[in-house]
Structure 1
């Protein structure tokens, strides 16, 4: 019961972080690995997806009721993200991702410095493309980051948010809402793959899913109430933590 309570609380916090700006895996995955140190990594990753997919789906539903999103552009992007995630999951069985592990903190640092340098980045919602161009760019983002999520994973939500802000002119609130839709697709693809291999502890995932949705509800409401500035601030915090975590894993561990 203590172990279950620990991962449920971690899932609650992860759901909150994920709903605001992504990066819930930064909380939940280490909690799972420390709580169940002898478990197979694939099983812990699968159980994580079994919980987080519900939180991202719930956040998508909540954002959709309050934020106007270009669904005609985003639904193809969600399908592209799902396909990219499947391809990435297959690729990781063929190629060693250790090189990406060392490059990731450098890429995240570049994203953070760019965001801090552009003081107005993502503060105002001003989409800058036609629907056709928006659809093509969103689909490209979906397939590339979807592939990355299936292949490696850390920071997926943050990459979605940053690219929708930088390439499509979304503010951080709209970008976060959009990221939830695409992240739901990538999480679902990964969950199907892990489940097909028997790598999900469903009884633990079910408890964690309830906690994740609860955290998602709080995070979504806070983001909607406080707006793009709050989401931008959370983005900076989460990316900074991701740089520290991935840098430690790549160079010091």
Structure 2
């Protein structure tokens, strides 16, 4: 991501880990999703000059992905990326698809989890991070679309960032969605399509299907997470002990 600041441009290049994509089934890509919407509209082949057009449907599919990621604390919304630090630079731009919320940072080079502090506490303790002696970063603070590190890096360290994506890094990327969720975003795009045609009864039918699908997904996602945590919350003591086990 590139942020324009008073002293120039803050550039940080984040690289995503190679991940296993979900099986493609019948909705492998954007074209297949548009075809799914086309089959429900029953208005012939969708193209650039039709109403709605393929561009319109692609836009609604993109919006549906983002609404899916925003509406529920979606398991597969999580994304892992890495970037290299620059000596004595404490400010770094976050990925463009950072959606706020939970985030963790790990210094892979030094095998350390970096603690994330609240902005008010961070500013009180480190009013000017540039005055700190460069060393291995141990504390971070998220400020809008930036991450600040203290102390400033003393070398080129590899940082691993785990965060919740917005779902819109690229409008054509559906690989991070399970197939059932791809069908759901098609329902939303179908509803928008009928709405654009002023066929509001059919639009409402697909809006309802979309909302019910989101509700089912929320419940299923919650059950998966609760089971993965062995049906108990992690205590502060457990988290402290886990950090204490680091080298």
Q: TM-score over 0.5 for the alignment? A: no
Could you tell me the TM-score, scaled by structure 1's length? 0.29
Q: Which of the two has greater strand per residue? A: 2
Larger radius of gyration: 2
Structure scoring higher RCO (CA < 8 A, sep ≥ 6) equals: 1
